[in-house]
Amino acid sequence: MKQNKYDDPSFFANYSQMARSIGGLEAAGEWPTFRALLPELRDTNVLDLGCGFGWHCRYAREQQARLVVGVDISEKMIARARESTTDSAIKYHQLAIEDIDFPAGTFDVVLSSLALHYVERFDIVCRKVHHCLVQDGTFVLSVEHPIFTALAAQDWYYGQHGERLHWPVDHYQDEGPRQARFLDHDVVKYHRTVATYLNALLDAGFTITKLSEPQPTQEMLDKHPDMRDETRRPMFLLIAAVKNE
């Protein structure tokens, strides 16, 4: 199923009010870790899968990437991204991630931020990314952590006084769709185990170079004390891989 929740006017309005939607990359808690996984972007061709408002595309150009292509299934997302830049070296296409079909060796770097847990066939995407990367090209992605997606509720277990006791994990090995509640809307996310993410990349011909389960930096915790519980369980899984066959 190719899901396009972001063109729902109410959902898009709610998403537009999120801190990361307003403040960009610096407001995204996982960004420092994601940025550290990226290779040198100068003089590279970059593809952003699920580009949203285009924050990562504009960052790549700031790092002097030669060409940047952003794809997103949402017409509203692409429209906002196009409104945010006049840079002719950034090209935006309204396209589902699953439908990419670029020629072999088109890109040096492919990245995807918090989009692939909405995609049903991660294995197919891995093969398509492998195809469109140059030899030794890099694929960097972030997804909601499988510990976070295992249960559709995606919420803490609370005590009788409303205190957060623990984060429940159940049905971890039962992969597949989860109907989660996000921004006051029902959204389908796809739960996969850590092993499935890694093996899909390995089977597609990638070498895994780095894994990360980032937590808020001390600076973020100082600014936002309410984020302290985010250190109790991983919310994101970040993976860097290189095409080597």
Residue 203: partners with Cβ closer than 8 Å, 6 or more residues away? 123, 126
Residue 88: partners with Cβ closer than 8 Å, 6 or more residues away? none
What is the total residue count of the chain? 245
Angle (CA) 88 59 114, round 5°: 110
pLDDT digit string (tens) for the chain, length 245 residues: 577 877 787 877 887 877 777 777 887 788 999 999 999 999 999 999 999 999 999 999 999 999 999 999 999 999 999 999 999 999 999 999 999 999 999 999 999 999 999 999 999 999 999 999 999 999 999 999 999 999 999 999 999 999 999 999 999 999 999 998 887 788 899 999 999 999 999 999 999 999 999 987 787 788 778 778 889 999 999 999 999 87
The token pair that represents 57 in the structure block: 């595309």
**Greatest pairwise CA separation for the chain in angstroms:** 57
Is 103 exposed, middle or buried (CB count within 10 Å of its CB: 0-12, 13-18, 19+)? Answer: exposed
